[in-house]
Amino acid sequence: MTKFNEKLDDVICDLSDVKKTLHFTRDNYEDKRVIDLPKDHEGTEFSIKDCLENAISTLEQLKEGMTEEQFIKEIFQIAYGETKLTQELLDEKDYQTVVDKIMEFSDKALKWEEAE
């Protein structure tokens, strides 16, 4: 197994652990499972669970031989869904905006976990 695949396995394992933990963590305000809460407060219908499942799936596909171009497109879609903005960011190769959005998702998930 290459170092790259080992790293992918580690990340997939970590995300799976976060998903399992959030499955059993309840929100103190709405008495819902944290994993079922919206991924942001912008009126989205996508949950934290949807984001984690998408991220895990994307990494598993990469491990199975996804091209760099496919991987980049998938990561952009994790951050912004299948929207016009995603295509604009892809066209501009605006990687930092996408990284910032994914870090925002990660930070929010950690805050909910730490609130328990």
pLDDT in tens, 27-75: 776 777 888 888 877 877 888 888 888 888 888 887 777 677 777 888 8
Residue 78 neighbours by CB distance under 10 Å: 21
Three-state DSSP at 79 gives: helix
Determine the Cα–Cα distance for residues 100 and 50; give it in Å rounded to an integer.
Answer: 19
- What is the rounded CA–CA span in Å between residue 22 and residue 113? 7
Domain spans, the chain:
3-115
Residue-level pLDDT at 66: 66
Report the predicted TM-score, pTM, of the whole model to 2 decimal places: 0.49
Contact 14, 109 (CB under 8 A): no
Nearest by Cα to 73 from 56, 89, 57, 50: 89
CA 8 to chain centroid: 14
pLDDT band at 103 (very low <50, low <70, confident <90, very high): confident
Burial of 65 (0-12, 13-18, 19+ CB in 10 A): exposed
